A and B are shown apart, each in its own frame.
Chain A
Amino acid sequence: MQLLSLQFALCFAALLALYWIAPKKAWQNALLLVGSIGFIGTHSLSAAVCVIVSTFIEWRLALAMGAVTERRPRLMVLWGSILLNVGQLAFFKYSQFFLPELATVLKPAGISLHVMSVLMPVGLSFWTLQKMTLTLDVFYRRKPATQSYWECLLFTAFFPTLLSGPIEFSRKLLPQFQTARTISTGQVAEAVWLLAMGAFHKAVIADNIGASVEVLMAPGHSGFSLLIGIWAYAVQIYADFAGYSYLARGCARLLGLDITQNFLAPYLAPNLSDFWKRWHVSLSGWLNEFIFVPTSLALRNWGTMSIIAAVWVTFLASGLWHGTGMAYVVWGSVHAVGLTIFNLTHGWRKRVKKKYGSAGWLKWSAVAVNFNWVCLGYFFFRAGHVGVAVDQLRSLFGHLDWDPVVENWNVIVPCTAVIFWLQSALAATKNEFWIFQKPIWFRAMAYLVLAFLLMRFYAPADRFIYFQF
């Protein structure tokens, strides 16, 4: 069941009605838990079992962590949690690759290995990281261990965030399950805005421009076609993923819960460091807090090299987390190279800033360079195969001539313009609810336009891109 479907809308409406009729928060939590496990069950029963068992182990580890104060046993529990979770991710994400290879290697030795196909539980990458914060937040003394298993299970299985995040920290979301919830008309209005933006980003922008991307990046096209194609893909993947995050946040807000804003106008970032503060904020916050900062601090005697080493560790981990195969490692490496350059030019950038201040041309040049660097990574991210991406890059730089196949301007230009306009509005106001600062006639017009665009250009929703992770 997808978030953007009639089936989900009907189930969610029924749950919402029961949820707000329920007299106590314990009943509300029970409804959410049943709804969440049922939601996973619509994808696969084995995934539901996996979430239930895996969360039980994590809950016991978090309790064990909370029960001791000495550093050594706490570290042992922490490493137990890390090994279990990384092992779980590696088994489900990589077994389909290494088990057939292993069977081939063992066959000449007379050992017959019966290879079963292992289906990855839905949203595994997302809920595993979210679940790990049950133990990590206790280790870093951000919160005490939660005594209730059912609350921990609800935290892991919470259906709006389960499939593609945002990845929540236990210290932020769990306390919300432990307090009575209320909802105001203002929150309902905000939720409706988030849901409308989510549907618009996914069904109008991402799925329409996605069809053009498929044409533009098909084999045999010129470098010019690939260049426009990868720019369009940047719009598609942003609209797709941000659309999901909007929908998840809108659903949570209707339940009286607040979850992380996952995107802050990322394509207007002037450098990669800033980009990662704006793109997939919940993942970069997780990686920053639990991989980058601990690694760089542990190596801080190395000087600047400590930061560069931590950047590489973080982005290689991010690449492996995203997908299976070398293409995602290369994608992570593209970002690591960019951030290495960013660090090594720290002194030079300080001098440039001192000389030119915040000149507009300098800022927009930096934004353009940064956007194209991100697009370079997208070649590998989209292709999923290093060879395909390298061939595309060869064509891009070898045949950068006009290609009449670029005929979808009527889709690409308005979609791109709308996305950059929305990002500019968000960056200028630093408020995703900027619409509520406008006069009522403007808001009414905005909703009418959104409704019209949804009815007129609604493309049959394909799966969300990040669903595969």
Chain B
Amino acid sequence: MTRTELLPKLLELARDVIGDEDLTFDGSTPFETIEEWDSMNHVHMIVRMEKAFGIRFNDAARLQSVVKVQDLLDFIADLKGI
């Protein structure tokens, strides 16, 4: 998996968790502007991402500092070493 493949996969997961086929975002989108990305869906997403990407978000401090979609993509890329 390459870095460019992360965003479409993340979007696919988010559409499924939130239940909105029309959901769209890019790297610059802050999570607080995604209407249904609440704290519960955030946790659902973390569990789904760990399974889908084969990673484990162990750095709680870094996870708490994720503000934009790009922050999350960078975090996943670092954990996967890509």
CA distance in complex: A294, B61 (Å) = 10
A353 located at the interface, meaning its Cβ lies under 8 Å from any Cβ of chain B in the complex: yes
B82 located at the interface, meaning its Cβ lies under 8 Å from any Cβ of chain A in the complex: no
A155 located at the interface, meaning its Cβ lies under 8 Å from any Cβ of chain B in the complex: no
A142 located at the interface, meaning its Cβ lies under 8 Å from any Cβ of chain B in the complex: yes
Q: Is the CB of A274 within 8 A of B19?
A: no
Q: Is the CB of B47 within 8 A of A300?
A: yes
Residues of B within 8 A of A310 (CB): 43
Residues of B within 8 A of A140 (CB): 60-61, 64-65
Bitwise, B45-59 to A at CB < 8 A (1) or not (0) is 011001000000100
A139 located at the interface, meaning its Cβ lies under 8 Å from any Cβ of chain B in the complex: yes
Interface residues of A in 248-277 (CB under 8 A from B): 273-274, 277
A85 located at the interface, meaning its Cβ lies under 8 Å from any Cβ of chain B in the complex: no
A114 located at the interface, meaning its Cβ lies under 8 Å from any Cβ of chain B in the complex: no
A354 located at the interface, meaning its Cβ lies under 8 Å from any Cβ of chain B in the complex: yes
Shortest CB–CB separation between residue A71 and chain B, in angstroms?
A: 10
Shortest CB–CB separation between residue B48 and chain A, in angstroms?
A: 11
Residues of B within 8 A of A274 (CB): 38
CA distance in complex: A306, B39 (Å) = 13
Interface residues of B in 57-78 (CB under 8 A from A): 57, 60-65
A: number of interface residues (CB 8 Å): 27
Q: Is the CB of A289 within 8 A of B46?
A: no
Q: Is the CB of A350 within 8 A of B19?
A: yes
B40 located at the interface, meaning its Cβ lies under 8 Å from any Cβ of chain A in the complex: yes
Query: Which of B19, B40, B62 has most chain A Cβ within 10 Å?
Result: B40
Q: Is the CB of A293 within 8 A of B38?
A: no
Residues of A within 8 A of B42 (CB): 293
Bitwise, A332-356 to B at CB < 8 A (1) or not (0) is 0000000100110010011001100
Closest residue of chain B to A292 (Cβ to Cβ) is B39
Shortest CB–CB separation between residue A329 and chain B, in angstroms?
A: 22
A297 located at the interface, meaning its Cβ lies under 8 Å from any Cβ of chain B in the complex: yes
Bitwise, A292-306 to B at CB < 8 A (1) or not (0) is 111011001001001
Q: Is the CB of A273 within 8 A of B38?
A: yes
CA distance in complex: A273, B42 (Å) = 12
Q: Is the CB of B64 within 8 A of A307?
A: no
Query: Which of A273, A303, A339 has most chain B Cβ within 10 Å?
Result: A273
A141 located at the interface, meaning its Cβ lies under 8 Å from any Cβ of chain B in the complex: yes
Given A139-B61, A297-B57, A288 and B19 touching (CB < 8 A)? no
Shortest CB–CB separation between residue A347 and chain B, in angstroms?
A: 9
Interface residues of A in 289-329 (CB under 8 A from B): 289, 292-294, 296-297, 300, 303, 306-307, 310
Q: Is the CB of B19 within 8 A of A296?
A: no
CA distance in complex: A294, B43 (Å) = 10
Residues of B within 8 A of A294 (CB): 60
Q: Select which of A142, A293, A307, A353 is within 8 A of B44 by beta carbon.
A: A307
Residues of A within 8 A of B43 (CB): 293, 296-297, 300, 306-307, 310
Closest residue of chain A to B19 (Cβ to Cβ) is A350
Q: Is the CB of A349 within 8 A of B61?
A: no
Shortest CB–CB separation between residue B78 and chain A, in angstroms?
A: 15
Residues of A within 8 A of B57 (CB): 297
Shortest CB–CB separation between residue B61 and chain A, in angstroms?
A: 5
Q: Select which of B20, B40, B63 is within 8 A of A307 by beta carbon.
A: B40
Interface residues of A in 100-151 (CB under 8 A from B): 139-142
Q: Is the CB of B60 within 8 A of A273?
A: no
Residues of B within 8 A of A354 (CB): 19, 21
Closest residue of chain A to B62 (Cβ to Cβ) is A141
Residues of A within 8 A of B63 (CB): 297
Q: Is the CB of A353 within 8 A of B19?
A: yes
Q: Is the CB of B65 within 8 A of A349?
A: no
Residues of A within 8 A of B19 (CB): 349-350, 353-354
Shortest CB–CB separation between residue B47 and chain A, in angstroms?
A: 5
Shortest CB–CB separation between residue B41 and chain A, in angstroms?
A: 9
Q: Is the CB of A277 within 8 A of B38?
A: yes
Shortest CB–CB separation between residue B57 and chain A, in angstroms?
A: 7
CA distance in complex: A300, B46 (Å) = 9
Q: Select which of B38, B40, B46, B62 is within 8 A of A297 by beta carbon.
A: B46
A-B contacts, 8 listed (Cβ < 8 Å): A141-B62, A288-B39, A293-B39, A293-B42, A306-B47, A307-B44, A343-B40, A354-B19
Known contacts A141-B65, A297-B60, A342-B40; can you find 12 more A-B pairs with CB under 8 A? Answer: A142-B65, A277-B38, A289-B64, A293-B43, A297-B43, A297-B46, A300-B50, A310-B43, A339-B40, A353-B19, A354-B19, A354-B21
> Closest 3 interchain pairs by CB?
A350-B19, A296-B43, A141-B61
